[in-house]
Structure 1
Amino acid sequence: MGLLSFIKDVGEKLFGASEAQAASVDELKKELDKHGLSADGLNIQVDGDKVTVTGEAASTEEAEKITLALGNTVGVASVDNQLTAKQAAPEAQMYTVKKGDNLWKIAEAHYGAGQGAKHTVIFEANKPMLTHPDKIYPGQVLRIPPLN
């Protein structure tokens, strides 16, 4: 997956994080745990506002969700995802939410005109980080999975 950029002054506020620096490794691991994502066997390193994660995830989807859970926190400007996946699958596109966006509009932009109802695919692809389809915010990075 490689390096993914985030807006470091938006996202979940974790203990010890600031707009200048990401939270500690322990706090980032707690964030993964909060979302039901296992940090077991992962190596997470923090260097200022950059987080690097290595190890093996169960799937490509889980590797992407780990990246988003780490990156959508205050103080993180980039996540270098060096994870390998036990079950490889096509990677999702990543999209940074803009002011005025909603999942319907994002689905139409990525899947084509008349495809707004596919917003549920985007919502499901971003669970558990998203708890409601209307709770997205500018600067948040979302997974946009390919349609089957």
Structure 2
Amino acid sequence: MSIFDFVKSVGTKLGIGDGAPQADDLKKELDSHNLGTSGVQVSTDGDKAILKGNVNDQSAFEKAVIAVGNTLGVSKVEASELKVGNGAAAAPVLYTVKKGDNLWKIAEAQYGRGNGAKYTQIFEANKPMLSDPDKIYPGQVLRIPPLS
């Protein structure tokens, strides 16, 4: 089962109040990023978001998970029924931002010492959810792509 954990008390705020977001609001947030996720259905079970359907590639799968998971009120994203093409998705590498982190530090930690300049790959892999490499926050979950 593909269940991903997120920090419930941080992320994009949807709607009014601090409760768990509604499935329709999560779907609108997901669609707003134009990730190629029109074939994805979103439902909720309390503070867990459930994604079902198909995406074209691994990148769209991972971005769908983090776009929904980095929403205020969501603590888990279940994606066991979210398929890539005609098959199952590979396990993504995700990183939860800690206080004091920046993309350079994350790149060095994930790719090895001396690879801080590879932060641009992490930034690009998290677009359009990230609009600026300096605007990350503790608790945010980022995709870590393999080095190219």
How far, CA to CA, are the matches of 1:115 and 1:34 in structure 2? 32
| AA matched with 1:102 | N
Partner of 1:33: 31
Identity, % of aligned positions: 54
Structure 1 residues 1-148: aligned runs within 5 Å: 2-16=2-16, 18=18, 20-21=19-20, 23-82=21-80, 83-86=82-85, 91-148=91-148
**What is the alpha-carbon distance in structure 2 between the residues aligned to residue 107 and residue 90 of structure 1?**
21
Instruction: After TM superposition, give the deviation of residue 137 of structure 1 in Å.
Output: 0.2
- Residue 76 of structure 1 aligns to a residue in which SS? coil
TM-score by structure 1 length? 0.91
Q: TM-score, with normalisation over the residues of structure 2?
A: 0.91
Aligned-partner Cα distance in 2 for 1:45–1:116? 38
Aligned-pair Cα RMSD in Å: 1.8
Runs of 5+ consecutive residues of structure 2 not aligned to the other structure: none
C-alpha distance in structure 2 between counterparts of 1:120 and 1:106, whole Å: 11
The count of residues paired between Structure 1 and Structure 2 equals 146
Check the 8 A contact 1:108/1:116 in 2, yes or no. Answer: yes
Which stretch shifts more, 132-141 or 25-34?
25-34
- 1:25–1:44 CA contact under 8 A, matched in 2: yes
Displacement after TM superposition at 1:16 (Å): 4.4
How far has the Cα of 1:31 moved from its partner? 0.4
Deviation at 1:91, TM superposition (A): 4.5
Distance 1:81 1:17 in 2: 26
